[in-house]
């Protein structure tokens, strides 16, 4: 699953560490999700969507 | 920064690592005591069973600590890494044990005197720790295009 996490994060000028703190996960988690190496669970995806104020499908895209 | 760098550890991770350290220390102590008992004390069958079970106790404690850690860890990515590392640990331990058991039995290397079984927990810890470290390193950094800490929108 592709995602726009990195773009959304950069638009807000947040570092990976800042985003990780807001999501209460490790920075490695954010990096792994951004690079597509790890697909988040639905609860985390919802949390990300809530944080960015966008629907899940606007952040996570099918390959 | 590596995932398990000490500065980044959560209280739960610190507690669990302290537990692992305790288990390793207990294993070393128990291994020596049990070995001494088997070598120098004449034991009845229940005594032998009892000592064998005592020697295996650290494995049970270790599984308990890992289980507790996994149930309390809120970061699903870290949980996945730990589970993968555990699988690597179990895999490496089984492969090592199988190879050396056959070598001890059929390749003229003599009896293993139970040493292999006693070393299982050490092989497991070392291989799981190495696997965790390598996986964490692999996920923690990538090429400059995607892993910049303060990446800008493309």
The nearest CA of chain A is from the CA of B141 a distance in Å of: 8
Q: Do B77 and A29 touch (CB under 8 A)?
A: yes
Assign B9 a pLDDT band (cuts: 50, 70, 90): confident
Selected residue of A3, A19, A28 to mutate for chain B interface (largest B Cβ count, 10 A):
A28
> What is the distance between the alpha carbons of residues B14 and B30, in angstroms, rounded to a whole number?
24
pLDDT at B150: 45
Q: What's the whole-number mean pLDDT along residues B54-63?
A: 88
Q: Where are the beta strands (DSSP E) in chain B?
A: none
pLDDT tens digits, one per residue of A10-59: 999 999 999 999 999 988 899 999 998 899 999 999 999 999 999 999 99
What kind and span of H or E run contains B133?
helix B115-140
Lookup: tokens for B133: 């470290």
- % chain B with pLDDT above 70: 78
Which residues in chain A are contacts of B149 at CB distance < 8 A? 15-17
Distant-in-sequence, close-in-space partners of A59: CB < 8 Å, separation ≥ 6:
A3, A4, A5, A8, A45, A48, A49, A52
The mean pLDDT of B58-62, rounded to a whole number, is 88
Q: Does the reported pTM lie above 0.90? A: no
Which ipTM value was assigned to this complex? 0.84
Taking only the tens place, the pLDDT of each residue in B113-151 is 566 677 788 888 889 989 998 988 877 654 434 444 444
As a whole number, mean pLDDT of residues B16-27 equals: 87
Which of A10, A29, A44 is opposite residue B151, by nearest beta carbon?
A: A10
Q: Is residue B5 pLDDT above 80, yes or no?
A: no
Is A32 in Cβ contact with B77 (below 8 Å)?
yes
Interface test with A, best of B136, B148, B151 (most A CBs within 10 A): B151
Top pLDDT among B87 and B25 is at B87
Residue B146, Cβ neighbours under 10 Å: how many? 14
Distance from the A47 Cα atom to the nearest Cα atom in chain B, whole angstroms: 13
Identify which of A13, A37, A41 has the shortest CB distance to residue B76. A41
pLDDT at B7: 63
For A38, nearest residue in chain B (alpha carbons): B77
pLDDT at residue B1, rounded to an integer:
40
**Tokens 């696997």 — which residue?**
B131
Q: What is the pLDDT of residues B103-122, one digit of tens each?
A: 887 876 666 556 667 778 88
For residue A11, the chain B residue with the least C-alpha distance is: B153
Cα Rg for chain B, rounded, in angstroms? 20
> Could B142 and A41 be called an inter-chain contact, meaning their C-beta atoms sit closer than 8 Å?
no
CA distance B142 to A3: 17
Q: How far is B133 from chain A (nearest CA, A)?
A: 13
């Amino acid at each position: 699953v592709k995602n726009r996490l990195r773009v959304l994060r950069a638009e807000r000028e947040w570092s990976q560490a800042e985003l990780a703190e807001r999501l209460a996960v490790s920075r490695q988690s954010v990096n792994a999700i951004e690079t597509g190496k790890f697909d988040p669970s639905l609860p985390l995806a919802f949390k990300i969507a809530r944080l960015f104020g966008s629907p899940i499908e606007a952040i996570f895209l099918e390959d | 920064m590596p995932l398990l760098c000490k500065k980044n550890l959560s209280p739960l991770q610190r507690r669990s690592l302290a537990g692992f350290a305790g288990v390793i220390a207990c294993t070393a102590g128990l291994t020596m005591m049990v070995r001494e008992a088997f070598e120098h004390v004449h034991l009845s069958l229940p005594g032998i069973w009892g000592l064998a079970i005592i020697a295996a106790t650290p494995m049970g404690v270790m599984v308990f600590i890992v289980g507790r850690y996994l149930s309390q860890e809120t970061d699903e990515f870290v949980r996945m890494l730990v589970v993968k590392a555990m699988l690597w640990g179990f895999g490496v331990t089984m492969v090592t044990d199988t190879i050396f058991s056959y070598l001890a039995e059929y390749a003229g290397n003599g009896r293993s005197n139970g040493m292999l079984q006693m070393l299982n927990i050490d092989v497991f810890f070392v291989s799981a720790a190495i696997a965790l470290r390598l996986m964490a390193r692999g996920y923690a950094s990538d090429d400059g295009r995607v892993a910049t800490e303060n990446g800008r929108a493309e």
